[in-house]
Each structure stands twice: as structure tokens, then as C-alpha cells.
Structure 1
Amino acid sequence: MSPTAATKVLVIGYVWPEPRSSAASGHLMQILQVFLRQGWDVTFASPANAGEHKEDLTALGIRECPIELNNSSFDRFVAALAPDIVLFDQFMMEEQFGWRVEQQCPGALRVLETSDLQSLRHARHQRLKEHLKARADSDDFSALFAPAAAQEFAAMADTDLARREIAALYRCDLSLMISEFEIELLVKQFGLSPALLHGCPLMPEQQPEAFVPFAERAHFLSIGNFRHAPNWDAVLWMKNSVWPLIRQQLPGVQLHIYGAYTPPKAAALHNPAQGFHVLNWAEDALQVMSAARICLAPLRFGAGIKGKLLDAMLCGTPSVTTPVGAEAMHGEEPWPGAIAESASALAAAAVRLYQDQALWEAAQEHGRQLLVARYRQQVHGPALIQRLEQCRANLAQLRRDNFTGGMLRHHHHKSTQYMAQWIEAKNRPA
């Protein structure tokens, strides 16, 4: 590579980015913006079909390239591109394409964007199901939020999903982690070296200058992609338990629920008489968030950090959530709203915040302080670039130190190669 040539980055996406539909896509777009500001040459490829809210990457100067699973045409594509860095968006893309990247571009830095630990989210979902099966009428869910890292590990370790996901992290040269809790879990429980991980939280481009005041806001808001299981569970919990308690004390208020890809089962919950409004996709999430007085996010399971709660801070909207919702988001800083572990406590906190202007304004200020303390792109963007360049400069030593990853690559890539060749031969026209 000549001294003046731009670093070439290939991003292999699980889906085409829809930043207005999901926090995961929003985070990926923030990373792409960091690359573009560095002057890097970015290509985005995905085997997925384009969704209705897909971002126009070409307008940003990013090449878009559809690719296919189990097709050797990808080999020719990646060899011709000769990327310096390959970013896999979610571990399934590393499983599918990692061996082809190594075969064609062994010197490319392999980076995994995790968004969250899917095996952690899955284990927590199973815990919730077991809790509901044993205590279907439970109000208090504190037991769900109590497990220490060792208990989370025990719930994850025997699952195929965890084995696949952790193996992919080992096979990559660096994995981008959005949650401090997940980094601690991986290092202390799963034994990954910190050298393989980089903390990269949500990075909003702009910090707020002014907020819509208390008196000009009304009602509650909940927002999130309905395809994301934690969001759908939160809607059901609000419908059945949390919202009726709020309406008892605030009979005139409404709850506005926005989410992309609203299924019929969600639309069926729409009930204006109860103040429960299912409103489909929000064209401008920050606009509707700024009009609401409180953001409700009663998440009973999940992983990573929550884009809806960061959006609430950006809009000066206090939020009421659970420990899993606030996990890894505020450190030692006060939460900009309230954290509770039961339907009754969530409802009580929401009503108190809704009515108490002084308490509400204090929560809003906590959000402003939290954004400055933890979510500045001008801090995390350069740190990401620096870490990637360090890894590229020391790639041989990094891979030598990661013997386990090299061993896993050897066995996974050989077996995957044979399987892909068999599938392609089987599908080839006679």
C-alpha cells in the first residue's frame, strides 16, 4: 500500500443498516461515520434483502455490494477489493465469510462488531421464561436482575449459541464491545484476553443545546423495533401490568408506542380507550421523544446498552427502566430518571416523575451530564481509530499471542470450506 493510499475497509453486514429502526444499526452507522471522517475507503456488503427503512449508504460515499451466502463469487469480490480491514457485523457473518476473507486476504485485520452478546440476551430470555412459568402472576422481577457475572456465565456456558459466539470472538483480531459489563464477563468468566476487546459505546454525533421544557410536554413514550424480542416483551409487560397501574393514578395520560415492523399481534394491542396507542414506525424518533414527558423502557431481559435510553438523554426526556435497561450505561453517574424491579415500583416512579417538575428537571440534568461523561463521539471515535491502527501495526504478534483463536480459525475454516464447497456443488446447474 502506498503511503498516500486510503485504508480500505470492507464491512459485511448481517442486514443493511436501518438506523431509524434499531440501535444496532445506529451504532454501526456511527462506526461508519468515524471511518469516513478518517478518510478511509469504505465498502458495505450484505447477503440480506434491503428493508423498507434502509439507509442510503451511497449518498455518504460508501459503496454498496450485495453478496450471496455459499457462493465463491465472494472470493473474487474480496480478492479484487483487497481490504486492509474487514468488519463483520454480528458473529454470524464471521461464521459465514471469515474463512473466505482469510483465504483471499490473510493480512486483513478482522474485526467483529458485536452490538451486544446474543448468548447473554438468550440466556436472560430463558431465565425470564422459567420465572414466568413458575410465577405467572409475579409483580417483582428482582430475581431476574440479581445474577452476578459467574451466574450469567453458568447460564450461558452450556449453550450452542455461546460456544459459537465466543469462538467467533476468538477468531477475530479485535471485537468491538458496547457494554462494560460484557467486557468484564468475557475477560473474567470466559477467559478472553483484553487485547482482543475494545470498548466502543454509542457515539451520538451531537450533544443537546436546549430541551423542550416540562410544561410543553405530555404523555409517555416507548420505542423500539418490534422484531427485537426484549422490546416485544416490554410492550406486553406494559400492557398487562405497568400501564394499568399508571392509568389508575393518571387517568388522562396516554402511552405512545412506536416501533418498526409492527406485527398484527402488536397492532391488536392498540386501545385508545385505555390510553394505549400502538403507532408503528416513527419518522423522527428524536422528535416524538422530545414531545413526551417520560420514556418507559421496562425491559425484563436484554444485553448491550439501549439506544432508546440514550435517545431519551439526547432529548432531555427522563426515563424509567429496569436494571437490565440501565446496565453499563451510567457507571457511577446518577440515572436520569428511575430504575425499578417490579411493575408496581416502575409505575410509582413513572407517576412521581410525571407530576414532580423539580424531580423531572433534575433527572433531565443528570442525562445531560451523563452524555458528556460517557458518550462523546469526539472521544470514542479517535480511540477506535487508534486501536485499529495499533492492531494493524502489530498484527503478527497479536495473532501469535492469540493461539486459541488461530487454532479455532484453522479447524473452523477448514470444515466450513469443505461444507461450502459441497453446498455450492450441489446447487450448481447440471
Structure 2
Amino acid sequence: MQQEVLIIGFVWPEPNSSGAGTRMMQLIELFQEQNWNITFASAAADSEFMFDVTSIGVKKVPIAINDSSFDTFIQELNPSIVLFDRFIVEEQFGWRVAENCPNALRILDTIDLHTLRLARQKASKENKEFQPSDLYSETAKREIASILRCDVSLLISEIEIEILQNHFKIDAKILYYLPFLVDSIDEKTIENLPKFHERKDFIFIGNFLHEPNWNAVQYLKETLWPLIKKELPEASLLIYGAYPSQKVWQLHKPEDRFLILGRAHNAATEVKKARVVLAPVRFGAGAKGKLIEAMQSGTPSITTTVGAESMHGTLPWNGIITDGEQEIAKGAVQLYQDEILWQKAQQNGIEIINQRYSKSLFGNGFISHILSIQENIEQHRMDNFMGSILLHHTLSSTKYMSRWIEEKNKTK
């Protein structure tokens, strides 16, 4: 069956800037492998670093928030599948999709569970231990409502599915685990990876617009790097990331071998040169693209419990997982110096990629799942009656608020 897929993006995809951009390109590739027509629409402004989706045969359409021109656009496109990139996008356009194309399958890609990430962030800022009761926030009300309104929501972390089912009582039928989708690592690829003695230095990569990344860099600068540098005075820490602000650049201290290098032209190339990835993530959610990239590059990593959460199942980690600052520093030094430990960690990472992120293990199953829901869409929606109620009231409230904003804008 030929499908017309509409993806509504929070931003235009930037796979070289963030894990979210990489994830989006993986979904586009998966849909294209089915020979489905894809249109990517967004209300975001063009950016210097966005990927040109038209270069791979995807139609690019700018749209506007609180503007009925979207209604005309989607009626003419008449998609059979609509994918919302984050719950904020579903809030803005979901009701219009439901009203104008009621038979279209509505998919929400959560990217990460914002409810969990922001609750952990708040607890960290308040210097208190995160508690499950912290989950019940205004963000949770919005995000859970969005999940309920959609036919299926994609989660990149199994822990997040457990939270949605156990704490928010979300029916498993509308949740689907879909991790990062990457190519398996074969023997030839392994042979071509730089060896232990061909690598040097530590590396951190992360989009600075993402608060967990900025927090991790501050933690490295203020606490961890002085401890590591004391033991390894010849090593440097290379900090790469998109959208560094002035406060980020101010941390650049060549005399301390703490180097802020901004956007990496090719992140994978830089990670392959490094001996160890440092990722002391103190709060966050979802799967960490930087740690997937480390494994693909054959670079062991040291990270926290939150950093590695739901990423490796029962498999041994690609390095060391620990949370105390002394333990992180000690582990980083050990991983940097011990070639046997380093090689074992590298092999662990390759196993994690091949067993938990290989596109061949998950891609076809996901496509079959959404086709199955399409075939039984009426029953599927009846089984999610709470979602129908929320959609009904959203149409009643959000619709008229949006119409009011649109009329108000006309008078300006």
C-alpha cells in the first residue's frame, strides 16, 4: 500500500547537531525504504545547519502556527500517516490533523520523555534526590494528554515505557519501543577502527541548547577534570557541541587542557580519534546519541546511571557506569590507561550496537506494527476511549483559542 507520510517537525532536522536530528533522519530513511511519499513540514525558521531533506526526495513545506492555511495544506496532501516530532508539535497541530484528516494514523515521536527529563532537572537544580512523585507536573499533564490523543507513541527508552505504564497507567497498546536504528558493526569495520595506542585524549560531544549537556560540561570543568588532569597531566579534554553560547566559550582554558571547540565538522571522526568519551550526565531521559556514537566509533565511555539508562539491557557496558565524582575520575583514568580494560569495553559497545540498535532488528517490526494499527484503526481508537475524550475536548478548546489568535493576528 502506497502511503503518504507527513512529518511535522519541531525544527528542521539537524543530524550533525543533536541525537534528535539523527533520530529523525533514521525515521525518514525507514519510511523511504518502504517507497512511501514523505513531506516534512515545520513552523521553524530555516537554520544554517539543517539537513536539506529535498536532496533525498523529501518534500519540504513551511507551515505556520495558529493559521488556517495548514487546514488547506493538509486537506490537499491528505496523508495516511502523520508523525509529530515531540508533544509540543502535537499540541499545535494534532487537532487540525484530526479534524481535516480523521482517518490518518497519528504517531507521536517523544524523542525523550520530557516529563522525566524536566523532573530530574528540577530535582538536580534543587540539590535533592529525584522521587517518582516529582513526575506529576504541568508538563506531565500536557505530555500524557498528547500521548493519549495519538494512535501510537514512540519511546526510545524501555524505562520510559515502564514509567508511562506503571505511574500514569497508559495502555501498552498505544506505546511502542523504537530505539536508535543504526547499521550493525561487522568485522571489517572493527578492523579499521583506530587502535588504543593510535588514540589520545578525552572527548565530550553534546548540543549546548540541551540543558543536560551544558550541566555536564560545567560538572566536568568545576569538579571532574581537575581530578582527572592531576593523574593524567598530558591528556586533554576536547569539548565539542552545536550552538555554544558565550558562557560556554568562557570555559575554554588551554592552559588546563580544557578545550571548547564548538561544532564538530564530523563528530564521528573526532570521537574515533579520542581514547575515552566522558559523559557525566546528571539528569536527562531517553537514549543518549553521544553514547551510541561512542560505541559505533569503538570508543569506550564513562557515564552515569542516568546516562546509560535503558541503553544496554543486561549486556555489560561500553566502559564504566558510576555516579560519584571520585569514582568517575578514578574510572576515567583507569579506562584511559588500561589497554586490556579498554579493549574489552570496546567489544562490549560493539555487542550493544549489534544486539540492541541494529536497524535490521527493529525496522521491519515497526513498519508491520503501524500497518496493523491502520488496518484496525476503528477498534484501536475505541480501545483508547480516554484518548478520544481528550481529543474531543482539545478540538473544542484549542480549536477556538487558535481561531481567536488567528483573528487577532489579522488585526495587527
TM-score (norm 2): 0.98
The reply to whether residue 112 of structure 1 matches residue 108 of structure 2 is: yes
Find the counterpart in structure 1 of residue 144 from structure 2. 166
The reply to whether residue 397 of structure 1 matches residue 375 of structure 2 is: no
For the residues of structure 2 that align with 1:233 and 1:429, how far apart are their CA atoms? 43
C-alpha deviation, 1:310, in angstroms: 0.4
For the residues of structure 2 that align with 1:183 and 1:51, how far apart are their CA atoms? 33
Which of 396, 403, 409 lines up with 1:427 in the alignment? 409
Which of 175, 197, 202 lines up with 1:197 in the alignment? 175
Which of 349, 355, 365 lines up with 1:373 in the alignment? 355
Find the counterpart in structure 2 of residue 139 from structure 1. none
C-alpha deviation, 1:111, in angstroms: 0.4
The reply to whether residue 414 of structure 1 matches residue 410 of structure 2 is: no
Find the counterpart in structure 2 of residue 24 from structure 1. 20
The reply to whether residue 77 of structure 1 matches residue 70 of structure 2 is: no
Find the counterpart in structure 2 of residue 155 from structure 1. 134
Gaps of 5+ in 1: 133-142, 145-150
For the residues of structure 2 that align with 1:46 and 1:205, how far apart are their CA atoms? 28
Find the counterpart in structure 2 of residue 63 from structure 1. 59
The one-letter amino acid paired with 2:172 is P
C-alpha deviation, 1:16, in angstroms: 0.3
Could you say what secondary structure the match of 1:131 adopts?
coil
Show the 5 A alignment for 1:4-153: 6-131=2-127, 143=129, 151-152=131-132
Superposed CA RMSD:
1.0
Show the 5 A alignment for 1:294-305: 294-305=276-287
Show the 5 A alignment for 1:296-335: 296-335=278-317
Which of 338, 342, 357 lines up with 2:339 in the alignment? 357
CA contact (8 A) 2:42 2:63 kept: yes
The reply to whether residue 243 of structure 1 matches residue 239 of structure 2 is: no
Find the counterpart in structure 2 of residue 182 from structure 1. 160
CA contact (8 A) 1:230 1:300 kept: yes
For the residues of structure 1 that align with 2:81 and 2:372, how far apart are their CA atoms? 12
Find the counterpart in structure 2 of residue 282 from structure 1. 264
Gaps of 5+ in 2: none
CA contact (8 A) 2:208 2:241 kept: yes
Deviations 1:63-101 (A, max 9, x none): 000000000000000000000000000001110001111
C-alpha deviation, 1:207, in angstroms: 2.5
Question: Structure 1 runs of 4+ off > 6 angstroms?
Answer: none
Could you say what secondary structure the match of 1:169 adopts?
helix
For the residues of structure 1 that align with 2:183 and 2:109, how far apart are their CA atoms? 19
Could you say what secondary structure the match of 1:115 adopts?
coil
Show the 5 A alignment for 1:210-221: 210=190, 211-221=193-203
CA contact (8 A) 2:184 2:354 kept: no
CA contact (8 A) 1:354 1:360 kept: yes
Could you say what secondary structure the match of 2:154 adopts?
strand
For the residues of structure 1 that align with 2:229 and 2:43, how far apart are their CA atoms? 45
For the residues of structure 2 that align with 1:34 and 1:102, how far apart are their CA atoms? 24
CA contact (8 A) 2:8 2:42 kept: yes
C-alpha deviation, 1:50, in angstroms: 1.6
CA contact (8 A) 1:289 1:312 kept: yes
Could you say what secondary structure the match of 1:64 adopts?
strand
C-alpha deviation, 1:359, in angstroms: 0.4
Could you say what secondary structure the match of 1:86 adopts?
strand
Could you say what secondary structure the match of 1:279 adopts?
strand
Deviates more, 1:283-292 or 1:205-214: 205-214
The reply to whether residue 255 of structure 1 matches residue 237 of structure 2 is: yes
C-alpha deviation, 1:412, in angstroms: 1.1
Identity of aligned residues (%): 46
Deviations 1:307-326 (A, max 9, x none): 00000000000000000000
For the residues of structure 2 that align with 1:289 and 1:426, how far apart are their CA atoms? 50
Deviations 1:216-263 (A, max 9, x none): 000000000000000000000000000000000001110000000110
Report the count of equivalent residues: 408
Deviations 1:358-381 (A, max 9, x none): 000000000111111101101211
Could you say what secondary structure the match of 2:15 adopts?
coil
Find the counterpart in structure 2 of residue 140 from structure 1. none
Could you say what secondary structure the match of 2:298 adopts?
coil
The one-letter amino acid paired with 1:197 is L
For the residues of structure 2 that align with 1:289 and 1:27, how far apart are their CA atoms? 19
The one-letter amino acid paired with 2:6 is L
Find the counterpart in structure 2 of residue 136 from structure 1. none
CA contact (8 A) 2:184 2:353 kept: no
CA contact (8 A) 1:98 1:413 kept: no
C-alpha deviation, 1:206, in angstroms: 5.0
Structure 1 residues 163 and 96: CA distance shift in structure 2, 3 A: same
